[in-house]
Amino acid sequence: MTHITLVRHGQANTHARTAEDYDRLSPLGAQQAEWLGDWLRDTQAHFDHVWSGDMSRHLATAQGMGHLTPEVDTRLNEFNYFDLATSAEQEHGLPAPTTPEEFTRHIPQLMDLWQADKLRGAPERFGEFEDRARSSMQDILSHGGRALVITSGGFISMVLRNVLGLEISPMTHLMFQIRNSALTEFEFVHGHKMLAGFNAIPHLAAPDRAHARTFI
């Protein structure tokens, strides 16, 4: 049996207006990563492989968890939300959000346009993102054993889409739910892919860590 645990990175720079500015952990994000690493060690979790995207927030999360040299695969990187949003505004008049409430309304519209291949300026087509999510998971699966993968919420949602056969609307809905530093687990038994756990935050269960149960 192969077991894959996907970890969403710790909280990033929530006030960013560019992909580059977003790609760094907040102080709380660094603390979330440290707490998760402590919890995994306390529960004696074992991993045969540790993988990460090459984004700064991925690597900082891995290092905060105690994994200083993860195996890096750029296919695990998040899609470029900011460039997609710019394309949607320029080509379709969809205004970029300025508040969390606007963001929750914006993402479903943006994802619909992207999946329908209606964003000419997109740095990556939706199908290309889907293909790299599928191929990266297949390669990790081929190594066998237990794998820890540090990545992003959009990527995790795409993996859920592939495993569960989700349409774009439920995939987007799940994307909103994935908390920073949360664990989503898959088991592969006799050729079958099974969701074994979703969005778990046991390292943030204590009442004094309620403030750390963040989505953005």
Can you read off the two tokens belonging to residue 180? 């920073």
Average pLDDT over residues 158-168: 96
Specify the amino acid at residue 37: G
Whether 210 is in a domain gets the answer no
Instruction: State whether 14 and 50 are in the same domain.
Output: yes
Domain end: 65, 96, 122, which one?
Answer: 122
* Residue 86 CB contacts under 8 Å (≥ 6 apart), including other chains: 96, 121
Q: What digits encode the pLDDT tens for the residues 75-89?
A: 999 999 999 999 999
Whether 27 is in a domain gets the answer yes
Does the structure show a pLDDT above 90 at 152? yes
Strand arrangement, sheet containing 183-189: 71-72, 49-52, 146-151, 2-8, 183-189, 192-200
For residue 69, what are the domain limits? 2-78+124-204
Average pLDDT over residues 98-111: 89
Does the structure show a pLDDT above 90 at 99? no
Q: CA angle 41-156-152, nearest 5°?
A: 70
**Residue 31, pLDDT score:** 98
Percent of the chain exceeding pLDDT 90 equals 87
Q: How confident is the model at residue 15 (pLDDT cuts 50, 70, 90)?
A: confident
Using CB atoms within 10 A of its CB, is residue 15 exposed (0-12), middle (13-18) or buried (19+)? exposed
**Residue 42, pLDDT score:** 97
Q: Compute the mean pLDDT over every residue in the chain, rounded to the nearest whole number.
A: 95
**Residue 98, pLDDT score:** 84
Q: How far apart are CA 187 and CA 31, in angstroms?
A: 28
- Cα distances from 80 to residues 49, 77, 115, in angstroms, run 26, 9, 14
**Residue 147, pLDDT score:** 97
Q: Give the domain CATH number at 151.
A: 3.40.50.1240
**Residue 184, pLDDT score:** 98
Instruction: State whether 70 and 105 are in the same domain.
Output: no
User: What three-state secondary structure class fits 58?
Assistant: helix
Instruction: State whether 137 and 197 are in the same domain.
Output: yes
